[in-house]
Each structure stands twice: as C-alpha cells, then as structure tokens.
Structure 1
Amino acid sequence: MSQPAPTLSQIRAQVDAIRKKRSGAQTIGIRAAGRWTGDPRVEVGDEQYAIFQCDSPLAMREALLQPADHCTRVLISNVDDAQISDDILLRLTPRRFVPLDGWQIVQSLFQARAIDPRLTRYSWIADMLVDLNPPGGFPPVPSGFLDAETVWRILLQHRIGLDTRGIDLAALLRWSADAEAVAGFRSSSEEFRAAAREWLVEQTGPAAAAILDCVASQPSPDTLPIGLVLGVIFNPRASQKLQKSLGKLEVKYLGGESPAAPIRERWQAAATEAVRMESLPLPKRKHLLARADEILYELEADRFAWISDTSPIGFDQRLQHFGRTLSDVVASSAVTSTESLDQVRESILEHDAARRESRRLQRLEMAMRLVRWLIRSQSSTKPQSLADAARHYLREGGFLDWARQTLRNGDPVQELSQAYAQLCERVTRYREQDSEQFARLLVDWTASKTSDAFVMPVERILDQIVAPLAARTRVLVVVLDGMSVAVFRELMADLLGRDWALLVEEGVGLRPGLATVPSLTEVSRCSLLSGRRSQGNGTQEQSAFTQHPALLKHCRADSPPVLFHKKSLLESDDGGLSGEIREAIASQHRRIVGVVVNAVDDHLLKGDQIDTPWTRDTIVALPTLLQGARTARRTVVLLSDHGHIIENHTRFRQYEGGGDRWRPDEGEPEPGELRIKGPRVVMPDSQTLIAPWTEKLRYKGKKNGYHGGVSPQEMIVPIAVLTAGDTPPDGWTEAPVDLPVWWNADAPASETEQVVTPPPPPKPKPGRLFDPDVEPMTSTSALEPASAVPHWISALLNSPVYASQKELGGRKPVDDQQLTRLLTSLDRRGGKLTSPALARELGCSLMRLRGLLAKVTQVLNIDGYQVISRDDASDTIALDRPLLLKQFDLGESS
C-alpha cells in the first residue's frame, strides 16, 4: 500500500520548525515514507524552495550539486541512515534526515514541550494544524503545554468559523445561523465532524449533540429557529393540541425523533438567549424570528405562537387578545375592574418585542388609564362654575384628551385598533357631557361680564404673570401657538425632572388661561401678546408686545421687550435659532424676550398622516430655546393662545362666513351649538356668534385639527412657568406632581378624584404677585386618612446603624419625616411605585424627588446593597424591605 505523499505545507512547517532551532538553515533533509511528486521549484510568498525527491545516495549527491541560490534546498528521502555517508550528512542542517512526524512538527511550531493526549489520538489534527500554519508561525504556548482548548479554538475558527472563546449553547446556535458556517461544517470530513461534536459536547453539554446533528442534517441554517419552535410545540399549554405538528417537526427537522425533554429545554432556552444577544445585528435577529414563525406556519402550529416570548406573530396574538378583552370590558354596562386586562398586559410586556414597540406600549398604557378613569368617573360630580370646570379640565380632562389622542391612530392589529376606537367612543360620550357643561358655564360667564380670580383670560397674562416675574428675574416668553392642555401635559411629562421644574403660584397651584372667543390665532394670540382684547397679525403683535406698559416698566429704555416670530426662527444657516434670537436671550440687559413657535398650529393643518408624540425634541426650536434660557438663567413662561380639537369623525355643517368652528349669529343654534355673546367675543363686531361645544362638528374643509369653538379643549390654555434654577422667584414654588389618581396603576384604590367647590379667597399675603386663587395647593396624600407609622420604620429611625449612616449625609441629611413618608408610601404599594406616582404621594416635584432619593440611597444603601433602587426602563422606585431589615439589624419580625 502506497504511502501518502508529503505536502508542501508539511515540508514548509518542518523547515520552519528546524529554523526555530537552527536559524539560517539552507539545506535540510526530510525523511518521508511517501514520495514528493510536486514541482522541484516552489515559491511561497517571499520564500523559494528547491525540493528534490532522493531515492538513493547518488540522487542526494546530484541534488546537492544543483544550484539553489536564494533558495531553501530540501531533500526528501526514505533511504535508511546506514546507507547515507557522512559527506552528505555534513552538508545538511541538522546533520541527519529529520523524520516527517506531524505531531513533532506541531510541537515545534508551537514551541511546546508536551501535547495534550486528548489531541494526539487524532493524527489528522496534526496535519490540519500544519496546513493552517500562518506566515510567521503560531505564537508559542504558555508554559510549554499545547492543550486541547488552544488547538480546537484554532481548528474550529479556521475550519467552520466558530469562535470557542466563552463558548456556550447560545453562541453555538448563533454560529449555526450563518449559512456559510453551516456549509463549512456539512462539507467537513466525517472524522472532523465527529471529533468536533465530541469536543463541543464536552464544553457545552449534551444539548450540543442534538444541535450539531440538526446542523449536519439541514441544508438551511434553521437550527436556532427550530429551537424557538420547540418552546411552542412542547409547551404544556399547547402540546396536547399539537401532536400532528410534532410529527411534522420530527420528520422534517429532527431526523425522525424528538430529543429528550432536558435537551429540548436547553436548546429552546439557548435559542431564546441567542436572539436576545445585543451583539446580534437587528436585521439578522428579525430574519431568525421570521424564520421561526415560518416553521410554525409550516407545522400548522402558528395559532399558538402567543406562547413564545420572541415570536413576532405571537406578539401580535397577545395584542389581539388584549383587544378582544378590552372590547368585552368596554361593552359591559358598568366597568368595575381592570383585572382581566392587567393579566394580558403583563404577558405583552413580557414579550421581547415590547422593548422595541414603545409607542404601541404607550397606547396600551393609555387604554388602561382610560379604563381606570371609566371606573372612577361613575362617582364624579358636575362643576357648578367656570372656575370649577376649568380646574377640572386642567387636572383631569387634559389627561383624558392626551390619552384619547394617543389612541387616535389605532394599532396595526385590527382587533386592538377596533377596541381602542370603542374605548375612545365611550370615553368621548362622557367628555362630550363635560364639554357641554363647560360651554354653558362659559356662555353665562361671558355674558355676565364678570372676572374670575382663578381663570385668567389670555389678555391678562402679560400683566399678571409675565410682568411680575420680570420684576424679579429675566424672562423668556415662549408662545406655543395652539398648544392644548393635552399637548402641554405630554410635553411636561417629557420635560420635567430633567433640567426643568414647573413653578406654580403659592397657595394657587397651576392656573388655567382662557382663550378669546372665537378661539382663533388672529384674535387670541394678538390679545395675549397685546395685553388687551384685539385682532391682528404678527406685526401688530410685535409692536404691542414691545410697547406693553407693564413690561416696559421692568426694562431698560435701550432694551425694551422684543418678540420673534416663525420667520426669525428659521434664519440661521446651521438650522438652529438665528443669531439675533440667541443674542437677545443671552443678553444681561434684555429683561423680556418673547418667541412665537407655530409647531402645533402647523401640525393641525397638515399632520394627519403623522403620529406625533409631543416632546421637546418634536418641537424643533424648543430644545435650543430652553438651552439658551438655562444658560442665561432666564425663567421660561410657556404659554398658548388657544387649544384645539383633533379630527375624529367630525360632521360637516356648511355655513357662509365664520371659520372652521364658529359662524355668525344667524338663526337659532342647532344641536351641538351654543350662542355666546359678551365683551370677550372679539369678532365679529356684533360681539355675538354661534359655536359648537361638541368636538364632532366643523363648518369648513377637513383638516388634522381645528379651533375656534367653545369646547374646553379649545378654550382652556395652560400657563407654565419653568425654572432650571434652585430658588424660585418670590411668590412661586415648585409644583407637586398633579397626576390624576387613575393615571397610574399603583394609585391607591380608595382615592376618588372629585371636583371641589373652592372656599372664598383668603386675603393676600404681603409681597404676593396678585390676589391668589381660592384653592390652596395640597397633595393627594394629604387628603388621605392618616395612618400609623409601621413599626419597622420606627425601629429603623431608632437604630444605631441608621444613626451612623445618617452622619454620612453631610450638613443636610435626609429628614426623618420625609424618609418616613417615602418608606410608608412604597410599603403600602407593595414596595414599588413609579417616580411620578411616588412624587404625587409625597406632594413634591420630580426634580425634588430626585434629590430626595439621592439622600435616601446614601443613607440606606449600605456598601452598595440596593435597599432603594430605580429601574430606568420603567421609571420605577423599589424598596427591598427584607434587605433593609438585614442591613440595619432589625430582625425579620420588625
């Protein structure tokens, strides 16, 4: 039987091995059983070889006489040493024929003194290593021992593209998703596949055998998707109904037989882990998940995809389930519980797709909020005055409209989209009742020609808000044209708790503004910026703002108030604010700067195909304006001239004259309309018109949104004073979180939001900006019955460990009363609350909560153990009470 011929790789490796011991060797003899049949002259890179097959001493002498300048001369022979004379051996380096032994070459290549016996039983591994010998050779092995881990890392990486550093089943499955890698494994020799399989099983467990068998049997890289499918087919909730699917799976993908349960479970768990790896590119992840769904479809098991926490189809099925459940809840005569929805919602949040579907999850949360509102709304009372109605809308109605508008565009899942529509329709029926009541109160209030201490007409805002603030600090007035209370609430949710805090008048709280009638830009904005009821354009607004007497009173003669409109905002070459605006905001002498931003009003005209979440980044100019104000230490007064309604199946009713949502007083009001008259009806000159209170009516062409009517959505405008500083101006204080009790699921079940008729106004205190409103500001917690402090909290405050930790708080450590309220609030809610809910419980702003939590964690989180922790993703504060008891030596019974 003929012996295999030596390969060029083996010859080169043997030469390199000799030269590592005897550098400069040029003539080398190699003993090999097989014969060299290749070309006598070979060039590899910069190296040239003259290779001679020598079957006798005579052939050796002839080879030594051949010219071999700049070449490495290699003599290949299997002649016995006793037949070779010394004159030949003396010309070789070393002075003998070196046997061509694969493992000896490998040992030399790695400069190893010994080789792992787990390797030497495979002669082909040595040949493969010799073939893989890189230019410059392998790096020497530490300690001189060539172990199996080192060799298999080289072989698997170079042969099939598998990196074994930190290898586990998830990494093996991720490798199996590469078509080229799978092809390389399938085309490898049987001996290589068997040895690699044995090695990988030893490293990652018996499930690797099933995975590699699947790789070897499948021409497509489906092993990872198959692992995901296993989690559905064998799930106890479906397995009895999927016997036919199981049979198809075994025949087509598992070689006719299912792996044992422990193997399946490890395979499925590793596949799930693999698709969750952050290092896996998103397109690849999507492809693998889609392929798993395709396999489920092939197996007729796709109807159970909802079982999987990774399946895209399964995510939609969970949303379908939520939609059907929501429809049932909304259709019931009385909504009493969210329990059935809570369970389905939790399953949706547990799905991997939830992390990438923030807007859809926001809609889901808004739906839950509206359901909770439906439960509480049954006990609410109607407001009896315009002040009550305005307060009610500012505190609650604006949140409802935010939620409804978020659900406006539905969801790609039809069942869920239909359920959202049903829910919004039911909520809207209640909202329409509130809108009619508000409009009737507005009609009476307007006709009576009286003023109100709480509701502030837009034409009084400069006099009563901006001017008094300008007496104490420099001010930036930002008019966000068309900003409704709903938009304001959404914007504040994004803005507050970062660099900015919302201020309210001491003893008054957040005050609503009131648009003019009709609630149009040319009337209401001009009135706002002029300080008197008027109608005009931007030029008139600028002139009136600059010459406003109350504003001028606090300005230098050479630096009067200045107002910028949309055109000025867009004059910068870099896409930001113009240099003139930046200079005005930064000026130390310019006391009052005003800017009009039209983002919301523009959206009403042409944004019907866009789902717009209102954040500071959505309104392009706002981040730069706020940054400039913060740098210049200006207080920001964020205002609106009017609100708006969003198009939602409005009915068209045609009239001559008027606008989208108002018409001349001709004839009698029809259903959904009211006649309104009085001095605040700025146009027409008759000071009387007819306008709809319902959001279902328009008089002009269809748009994304409208304004001009007398609904609270259009008439009530927010007045927001924002500061990035630590000390509010005199007469102002940071606003506590004023979320409705139904907004967060962790609100106490006993709370009920009701409209409160305010008592008579108190006498103003000295130094106040103007007469306060009649209602003092209180937190929701203050309205609850006082409950005893839990024993474990009292024990904590009296413990020596706490006293020692408290000294770490510096000159202003955490206040015991504040800590008690915080711990009690968390404990009553099962140890977890969202940041807004906790701030609401404590009656403080989000910014103040952040500072309080910093102090509390400094005291309670001993040695970094998280007694109090915050999850950024869910914005949730958590209390680990058992850990607290252990850390402060309070015992389990405290």
Structure 2
Amino acid sequence: MTVATTTSAVRLNAATITQYLNSQPSLTPEKRRVVLLRAAPVWEGPAQLPWGAGRHARIAVGPSPLAVYELVLAHQAADATGPEVLVVLTDREEAELGPDLLAKVHRQRVSAVNIWDVVREAFGADATDHWLSEENWASEALLDATPPGGWPQLAGGALSRREALAALAMRRLGIGRYAPDADPGQMAGAGGLDVHALLRWSLQPGGPDRYLSLRAPERAGLARFLGEDDQVGLTGRALVSLVDAEHGPDAVAFGLVCGALWRDTELPDAAGGRRTRGRRRADEGSAAGGESVDAEDYRARGRAERWFGDEPPAHGAALDQLAASFGRACEEFVSALLLSGRSEFDESAAAARKMSHIALDRADSLIRQFGAERAARSSALLAAGLEARFAAVGQALTDKDPQQVTRSVGALDDHALAKEPDARTRIARAGMALRLAQWLAGDPPVASGNVAAAIGRQIAETGWVDLALEHIEAGGESEPALQSAYDSLCASVRAHRREIDRNFAHALATWTADGGTPGTMLAVETFLPRVVAPVVKAGDRGVLLLVLDGMNAAIASELGEELREHWVEYDPLADAKDAARRRAMAAALPTLTAVSRTSLFAAKLTSGAQTDEKRAFPAHRFWGDAKAAAFHKDDLRAHAAGDSFGPGLLTALNDEQTHVAVVLNTIDDRLAKEQKLGDGAWRLSDIGQLRELLRYAALQGRAVILTSDHGHVVDRHGARLEAEVPLSARHRVPGGPLAESEVLLTGPRVVVPPTESASSGTRGGEVVALWDADSRYTAQKAGYHGGASLAEVAIPVLAFLPFGAQPPKGWRELGDQRPSWWRLDGQAAEPGHTVATVGAVTGEHAEARPAASPSKQAGGSPSTGKAAKEAVEIVASRDSLFDMVLVPTEEEALLSVAAVAPDEADQSASPHDALMAALLASEIYQVQVQVLARKRELPRMERAVRVLLDVGGTLPMTALAQRVGLPATRGAEGFCAVLRQLLNYDGAQVLETLPDGRTLRLNTGLLKGQFELD
C-alpha cells in the first residue's frame, strides 16, 4: 500500500475506509487498535463499518487534538467494548497531537490515504494511467459508487481512464449490469457503455434523475467524459445537455425531430458550414418579401436549439453537426427497437415496442411544438414521413402516372414503420390500388362471350379484381389525398365491373333459357362425378371436401395463396382437354344454399336441407366399397374437452377409408352479421376449424378440395329496390317490369318451388334476380347471395395435395395463379408464366390462367402433333376475352400441351433437361459453385432450379424448401439465400424475392443471358 505523507484533508467515504483497512495486514484481531486517517472530520456513514472477514470498525471524527486524545484513551481502556478497531478521521497535524498520543495509534502517525491506490486495488489493476489521475473528482466517486460485488476485475495491467469512467457512468446512471432490472448473471463490462445504451437509459423511468442527483463535480466530470468518449461522442454530449436542461425523458423523441430537421446537414467547412449559409438564404428570402423553400425548417431549427438549454453544447455549424449526429443516432436506435419489438421470441420485445412507441408518439408532439411538419414529411422513421408517402401514392393515382404509382407504393415498404400492424394493412391497400390501376390501364373488355368464358374469367382475373377492391373498401383511409384517389379509383373499377356483370347476366339469361346444359363446363351438379369420383376411383387416398359456404372467387384467391405455401395445388379436372388452370363451376339458380349446395351434394339440380345432403352424399355409386359422409356445423362441435370436433367427424377423419365432406359456415354467417372493416383480408385462421381440418388431411395424405355452394357480394354501396314479393335479398318472384339492375332467369336450371315461380307444374322455373352487386331487396346486411352477378354464380374449385404426395391420374400441378397485373414492380409477366387468357374456341371454356408445366408426379411429358397445334391455336385466337393475348413460344406451347394431354404424350425429353445440362456445364456456373458458401447443398440447389423451372418460375420459399427435401420450418430462408448467391451472377436478379418477402421468382431469360446459355 502506497501512502502519501502530505495530502489535503478530503472527505472519506465508507468504500475508501474499507479499502484502506483491507490493505493493512497488521490490523490483526488480537489487539485493539486506533487508526488515524487524515480527512475532513465529517462522517455521515454508519457508526460501525464492516470490513474484512466478518470484522467491524467503529468510525469517529476528531476535529481537535483533545477530541482525538479522548477517543484514543477511551478505545484502549481496560473496560472498553465494541469493535477492536477504531478509525478516527481528523485534519489535525501530527505536531498538534504530540508524540505520546501518536505512540498509541496504528503506525504511530496520522495516515494519509492515497485514494487512487485504493481505486487501483478495487479494480485489480497494477497501475492507473496518468489521464485518470488527473480526474481529481473521480477517485472519491469511484470508491463511493463501488457496487456490492465490487468493480469488474482487470487481473493486472493498467486501469485506463475510459475503463474507470465508463464503469462509473454505468454504475451511476444504472446502465448494463448496473441497471435496476439487470440480470446478475449477465454482467457487462465497460464495453456496455455505447450510444444505444445511453439512449435506452434516457427512456427508463427515473434514468435522467440519477444523473441530476449527483454532486456537481461528479456530474460535470461525467458530462465531460461522455462528451469526449469515442464510443458515445457527440450523442453523449447532446444527451447530457438535454438532461441538464431537464429534457432527458424526451431526448430520444427530440433526436428523431433533429434527424428530420438536420437531415441534409453537411460537415462544417472552413467558410462557416451549411447552416450559416442556409440561415442567410432564409433571411434574404424574408427581406425580399417571400421565403425560400426551407425557411420553415430553419425557423423550426431555431426553436429546437433552445431545448439544449441556456448554454448549448456547441454553436453555429458545430451545433448543426451535433444535432444531425444526435438525430441519426436516435433514428438508428429507434429503428433497432422497432426491429426488436417485432420478434415473437425475444423476451424484451414488449419493452422494445413500448419504448419505440413512447419515443415516436412524443416526437409527433414535438414536431407540432417546433413547427417542423415540413421536415417531418421527409423522415423515413416518423409517422409524418409515412403519411407523406401515402399522400404521394394518392397524388400518383390521381395523376394516373403508372411509373410514379409503382415507385410511390414501393417507397412505402422502405419506411421504418412499414412493418407495424396498422401500416401493413394500409400498405397492403395501397398495393391493391396499384394492382387495380394496372388492371384498368390494360383496358379490360367487359364482354365475356358466354357463361363458361365469364366464369373462367372470374376465377382467373375478375375475382382478383374483387379481392383488391374489397381490401381497399374494407378499410378507412385517413390521408385526404389518398382517400380521394381511392374513391375515384374504386368508382372506376366498380363501373367497369358493373358492365362485366351486366354482360354476364344477359349471357346467363340466354343460356338458362336455352336449357342451361353445362356441356364441358364444370357445374355444381357435375362437380362430384368429374372432380371427386376420379380420385375415389384411383383408390390411392381419401378425399377431404371442404365446402366453404358463401366463398366467392376473391376469398378463394386469397386463401389459395396462403395454402400454396405448404401444399401443392393441382388442376383436378382429369377429363379436361385444355391447359391446366384453377377451376370454377357454375352454381345452380338461384344462388342459395338450399338450392346450390344440395345440388352439389346430390350431383343433380335439386333443392333441400342438411338432412338431404347427408343422405345424398354417401349414396353415389362412384364411392364403390368406400365409405363417405357429410358433416355440418353441429358436427364440428366437440363433446369432450380436448377434442377438435364432434365424435362422428373425428371417427371419419381418423378412418383413411372414409371420404369426408365438411361444410364450414364462417363466410356465410359473416354476411348476415357484420362487415370486415379495417382489414379486408381472409386468412385460413379466419375460417373456423379450417386449419385443424387441414392438419388431419396432411397427416393422412388426403386430397383436399376447397369449394363452395355459391359466392356472394358485399354491401359497400348498396341501395334497396322495392319488390312486392322478395324471395331473398337478391331475387324475387317474377312479375312487373324489370328494373335496370334486374334480369329474368328461366329454365330447368332455375330450381324454385312452383309457388315461387310464374310457371307451375315444372321442375324448372323462373325468377327475377339482381345482377348489380350494389342492389338488394331486403334490409341491409354485410353481404348477400341469391343474385345473378359473377361473384355469386362462379364457384371456385381449388385442389391440393401435401408435398411429395403422388397425384391422382390426370391431376396437373399448377404454377403461380396470380394475373400478370397483380405484380407490384410495374413489370409485365414473363412469357409463359402468366397467360392472359385462353380464347373461347370451343364455346365452353375461356379462362385466364398460367400455362402449366409438366409435373413429373403426374406422369406428364411434352407431346407434339394435333394437341400442340390446338393449344397454339387456342391461345392465338382473337376471340379472346382480353385485348392482349400472350402467344407462347414453341417450347412454352409444348409445356402447356404436356399438361393438356398427358395420355397422348410421347417419351421425348423435357426442354428443361437441355437447359439444366447447359447450366451445369457453364463455366460461369462452375465459378459460382467455387465461391458457394454451402457446397454440400449443391445437389439440392440444382434440384431447386429444376423445380422452379417446372412450376413456371415462382414458388414460396417454404414450398420450394419442402419440394427439395428441406423442412419448411427449418432453414428455408437460409437455403434460398445461398441459392440466390449461386444464381445471381454479377449482381443480376436471376432469382429474386418478391415484395411479399416469402416468394421466389426465377427469371429464365436472365438465367440464360447471365450464364451464356443457348
């Protein structure tokens, strides 16, 4: 222990005295001792101080020689009690005390404590650097702040100024291991003091008060250290100034405002910096009678600068630099909080969300207080910046500038708040608006030609239009410019859709009057024989038929996209001679549950109730020896705790030999109760018990077919029509003149009791139905069915198998089902990826669907000859429903024909075999392989490329991972990231991730170009 002989009398604290006593090995417990320490005769600590191994020392003060003398004699008296060591704090000189008294005390003198030696030993260091020794205020503070477990030990070496003062700052402020709620098992050293730690501290309740409660010398010393430290620098300097000005709790929010106000600040130059020049421009503008563009920002800066206090930490250009630096630090910090808050597994996610929202909400208030609204609109973090981007979308939609709409919608995703729940819904609506604008820009025709063509078009295109329209109209928009743009856009879309429905209604009336024979078109009465029966006949797997009562094409499109992430979709119409595509069928009329659903289960046009459906479904001959059963709402109710369904349905699901049909009423029930508001999305989780049914199907490898009994229209702009005898909200008894929105439907396909029809004695009948989606006869509800619009008559049919399952004969795997205008990047679909339509050559089918590629599992292979010629002629037909028809290349036509007529296919090699062989032999590809991070995955990656080629180029990451044998729940994103590294040579986006963040798209043209393939 080094002891100085002459030091000024300072106040000693408990830690200093304890450290000194521990450094004196001669203070043994066998003898009573008095220790005189040179110090200010002031003691505010406990009378007895613990030290050593269970020992205590009594502390007393001796302001005079007499007082010291009395304390020494009393402690050494024969009858003295109490601790064996007495520490006397005195500022008296040794000459005043005399040699007789000194002879009775420890070391026969007044010991002067070298506090820095005590500090050094407290940290386990061999020395302290001279920069630390110059901080006179720090020695006493370090000892006074010693934590219960002691300071972090250095195990030798020199104690640096940064290590000591960072540890002191963390201890005093409550940061890192010293935070009030810190985990003792996760102690951070000096490295825990950084910009984010300081900003987080400022948001903690009582955090800034810890700093303000320190004594003035220590507060000034820590402020100086934080302002000069390399790791916290300007941020620490700005933060301390704000805390001194009593704005500590709002410091981060203030920093976000600084980030907006000083966003374009440059480093100060020799001429005085950007800020001085900017102020001069603003002043000159005012003098001239007008203000420059950024004058508002400079006035707001002036108001904000006052928040740094009467003595700001810098002036002029230096203050600009400090504010800009502090703003960027706060933006990075809050961005990190937002990212952490989105984690579902991070225990601190809730705290991160709370802190970020507090800072952002307070920043919004400060923006108004400083008048910084204009600057905030350019922020990539503040809510005002996101609102400005929404306003830009509205302006672009109003201007009808396709490129600007695409850019402005894309800019929404770049904002830091884009992933917040409310923002995600609004951004999704903006994306839907872009899609509708792109659809309108293609000037889609309103005439369908015939019923089959219109129904095909509904599942391929106009159902997607309905989906986008419903997303926009389900949610309210607060931004005025965007709200106005939505109103105008949706009005145009509704007007176009109204004309489509008008033309369809006339075609429907003609078809039904002519007998309504479906022919090759799929209809409710032919659905079971043509779609389900072939699967049953194959005998390879059970069927789970899910009838989602009321599901229209729009909802089916949305649910289908979610299902495709974990299932493979097929075209289940085995007897079709056209290209593979998602199917739709015609409902029975009127489009009511009692008519159309009963007709579906009975496989004939009829009407009835649930009991009729339960009886008719298992009675069909095509079941053979297999069992079949239909279940309704009551059958889904579990009777025992822990069961998913009722006992009858559970038994059927667990029996792989039983084909099961389940009616789910969620959608139809919703129409009678309430509209979806805010978020118009329909997800699998929204349909009661659908996920659990799919889980059973996946475990047993069942074929899952989703369909409905009819669609529906949503009442967003509905008007009531008066009717003497309404039979439902959308159809009435014939009689009287037809309104503009009505159509007369007559013939065998109209299944109504004689009392409801003008004609009696026949099974068929006639009704008047509404074709206009915005009309009704009865009281207002959320939605309706029973009418003659496309959304009610067209019934979607979606078929799925688990990954790896062998499809039934004739089933053809489907690629991406979204229309080309659904893309958000403003680019047209790749050739062969999304075909605009197939013309109505046969008079029965004309639907817009992707050209399907051959499925190895389906046994398909390319064929030539008559089928190929017919496929090309069909696609090239000018009788198309669309103005634009994408004519496929010869290779694409062959791919399409492979799916059309697998039984006629020859055994020639797939065109992808040659492409894959050329790719693997490419020198560029071999170079990419050499730099591949995970070469062991190469065979799986080559398989993934072939899968992407086979499905048309687009597939969700999870689906691709499962297709190549990698569990979708583990490593899908990592695998796809390495696959992108392999294929994206020279920065070209051969393999790109779509804006949804979960879907991959392979650009075949870029693949050939980048790897120099013929």
State if a TM-score over 0.5 links the two structures.
Answer: yes
- Which residue of the partner structure matches residue 825 of structure 1? none
Residues 622-661 of structure 1, C-alpha deviation per residue, up to 9 Å, x if partnerless?
A: 1100000000111111110000000021121122241110
Alignment of 1:329-478 (within 5 A): 329=400, 337-356=401-420, 357-378=423-444, 380=445, 382-409=447-474, 410-449=476-515, 451-472=517-538, 473-478=541-546
Name the stretch that deviates more: 774-783 or 510-519: 774-783
Q: TM-score, normalised by structure 2?
A: 0.75
Secondary structure of the residue that 2:751 maps to in structure 1?
coil
**C-alpha deviation, 1:783, in angstroms:** 2.1
**Hey, what's the Cα distance between the residues in 2 that align with 1:265 and 1:793?**
56
Q: Which amino acid in structure 2 is aligned with residue 183 of structure 1?
A: D
| Conserved 8 A contact 1:664-1:684 | no
Match of 1:133 among 139, 142, 146: 146
- Which residue of the partner structure matches residue 489 of structure 1? 557
| Conserved 8 A contact 2:431-2:824 | no
- Which residue of the partner structure matches residue 242 of structure 1? 297
- Which residue of the partner structure matches residue 875 of structure 1? 998
Residues 685-712 of structure 1, C-alpha deviation per residue, up to 9 Å, x if partnerless?
A: 3411110111121011101000000111
Q: Which amino acid in structure 1 is aligned with residue 57 of structure 2?
A: Y
**C-alpha deviation, 1:816, in angstroms:** 12
**C-alpha deviation, 1:85, in angstroms:** 6.7
Name the stretch that deviates more: 286-295 or 257-266: 257-266
**Hey, what's the Cα distance between the residues in 2 that align with 1:483 and 1:639?**
7
Alignment of 1:528-607 (within 5 A): 528-551=600-623, 553-555=624-626, 560-572=627-639, 573-574=641-642, 576-590=644-658, 592-607=659-674
Match of 2:788 among 710, 719, 741: 710
Name the stretch that deviates more: 570-579 or 221-230: 570-579
- Which residue of the partner structure matches residue 249 of structure 2? 221
Match of 1:75 among 54, 79, 87: 87
**Hey, what's the Cα distance between the residues in 2 that align with 1:844 and 1:135?**
55
- Which residue of the partner structure matches residue 146 of structure 1? 159
Return closer, same or farther for 1:253/1:411 CA change in 2, 3 Å cut-off.
same
Return closer, same or farther for 1:722/1:21 CA change in 2, 3 Å cut-off.
farther
Return closer, same or farther for 1:633/1:875 CA change in 2, 3 Å cut-off.
closer
**C-alpha deviation, 1:73, in angstroms:** 1.8
- Which residue of the partner structure matches residue 736 of structure 2? 667
**Hey, what's the Cα distance between the residues in 1 that align with 2:79 and 2:378?**
76
Name the stretch that deviates more: 773-782 or 193-202: 773-782
Check if 1:181 corresponds to 2:176. Answer: no
Q: How many residues align?
A: 851
**Hey, what's the Cα distance between the residues in 2 that align with 1:444 and 1:519?**
17
Any gaps of 5 or more consecutive residues in structure 1? 330-336, 823-837
| Conserved 8 A contact 2:244-2:309 | no
**Hey, what's the Cα distance between the residues in 1 that align with 2:238 and 2:328?**
14
- Which residue of the partner structure matches residue 65 of structure 1? 77
Q: Which amino acid in structure 1 is aligned with residue 841 of structure 2?
A: P
Check if 1:10 corresponds to 2:16. Answer: yes
**Hey, what's the Cα distance between the residues in 2 that align with 1:739 and 1:860?**
23
**Hey, what's the Cα distance between the residues in 2 that align with 1:37 and 1:27?**
20
- Which residue of the partner structure matches residue 778 of structure 2? 700
**Hey, what's the Cα distance between the residues in 2 that align with 1:302 and 1:847?**
45
Secondary structure of the residue that 1:471 maps to in structure 2?
helix
Residues 119-166 of structure 1, C-alpha deviation per residue, up to 9 Å, x if partnerless?
A: 222233121122223345435322243233332233112222344635
Return closer, same or farther for 1:41/1:217 CA change in 2, 3 Å cut-off.
closer
Match of 2:839 among 748, 752, 756: 756
- Which residue of the partner structure matches residue 59 of structure 2? 51
Secondary structure of the residue that 1:562 maps to in structure 2?
strand
Name the stretch that deviates more: 102-111 or 253-262: 253-262
Check if 1:676 corresponds to 2:748. Answer: no
Secondary structure of the residue that 2:560 maps to in structure 1?
helix
Check if 1:515 corresponds to 2:643. Answer: no
**Hey, what's the Cα distance between the residues in 1 that align with 2:309 and 2:1007?**
51
Alignment of 1:719-758 (within 5 A): 719-726=797-804, 727-746=806-825, 747-748=827-828, 753-754=836-837, 756-758=839-841
Structure 1 vs Structure 2 CA RMSD = 4.4
**Hey, what's the Cα distance between the residues in 2 that align with 1:389 and 1:439?**
10
Q: Which amino acid in structure 2 is aligned with residue 624 of structure 1?
A: E
Residues 348-400 of structure 1, C-alpha deviation per residue, up to 9 Å, x if partnerless?
A: 2222221112111111100000000011125x473222221111111101100
Return closer, same or farther for 1:363/1:442 CA change in 2, 3 Å cut-off.
same
Secondary structure of the residue that 1:677 maps to in structure 2?
strand
Return closer, same or farther for 1:86/1:246 CA change in 2, 3 Å cut-off.
closer
**C-alpha deviation, 1:233, in angstroms:** 2.7
**C-alpha deviation, 1:717, in angstroms:** 0.3
| Conserved 8 A contact 1:860-1:884 | no
Name the stretch that deviates more: 108-117 or 869-878: 869-878
Residues 466-487 of structure 1, C-alpha deviation per residue, up to 9 Å, x if partnerless?
A: 1221222211111100010110
- Which residue of the partner structure matches residue 714 of structure 2? 646
Match of 2:888 among 783, 799, 803: 783
Q: Which amino acid in structure 1 is aligned with residue 997 of structure 2?
A: S
Q: Which amino acid in structure 1 is aligned with residue 452 of structure 2?
A: A
Return closer, same or farther for 1:529/1:218 CA change in 2, 3 Å cut-off.
same
**Hey, what's the Cα distance between the residues in 1 that align with 2:8 and 2:728?**
102
**Hey, what's the Cα distance between the residues in 1 that align with 2:48 and 2:976?**
76
Q: Which amino acid in structure 1 is aligned with residue 233 of structure 2?
A: G
Return closer, same or farther for 1:223/1:103 CA change in 2, 3 Å cut-off.
same
**C-alpha deviation, 1:435, in angstroms:** 0.9
Match of 1:191 among 210, 217, 224: 217
**C-alpha deviation, 1:41, in angstroms:** 4.2
Return closer, same or farther for 1:320/1:871 CA change in 2, 3 Å cut-off.
closer
Secondary structure of the residue that 1:505 maps to in structure 2?
coil
**Hey, what's the Cα distance between the residues in 2 that align with 1:303 and 1:803?**
51
Check if 1:34 corresponds to 2:40. Answer: yes
**Hey, what's the Cα distance between the residues in 1 that align with 2:419 and 2:375?**
22
Residues 278-324 of structure 1, C-alpha deviation per residue, up to 9 Å, x if partnerless?
A: 35622321221222222221222324421111221332232233223
**Hey, what's the Cα distance between the residues in 2 that align with 1:602 and 1:291?**
43
Secondary structure of the residue that 1:242 maps to in structure 2?
helix
Check if 1:321 corresponds to 2:392. Answer: yes
**C-alpha deviation, 1:252, in angstroms:** 4.7
**Hey, what's the Cα distance between the residues in 2 that align with 1:265 and 1:339?**
33
| Conserved 8 A contact 2:536-2:622 | no
Residues 799-850 of structure 1, C-alpha deviation per residue, up to 9 Å, x if partnerless?
A: 186299599678787379959x96xxxxxxxxxxxxxxx9655699994697
- Which residue of the partner structure matches residue 767 of structure 2? 689
Q: How much identity, in percent, do the aligned residues show?
A: 24
- Which residue of the partner structure matches residue 305 of structure 1? 376
Any gaps of 5 or more consecutive residues in structure 2? 1-6, 177-189, 265-291, 341-350, 758-764, 846-857, 861-866, 877-884, 893-910, 967-971
**C-alpha deviation, 1:3, in angstroms:** 4.0
Return closer, same or farther for 1:657/1:262 CA change in 2, 3 Å cut-off.
closer
**C-alpha deviation, 1:547, in angstroms:** 2.2
Return closer, same or farther for 1:634/1:179 CA change in 2, 3 Å cut-off.
closer
**C-alpha deviation, 1:37, in angstroms:** 5.6
Match of 2:942 among 811, 814, 819: 814
Q: TM-score, normalised by structure 1?
A: 0.84
Match of 2:114 among 76, 101, 106: 101
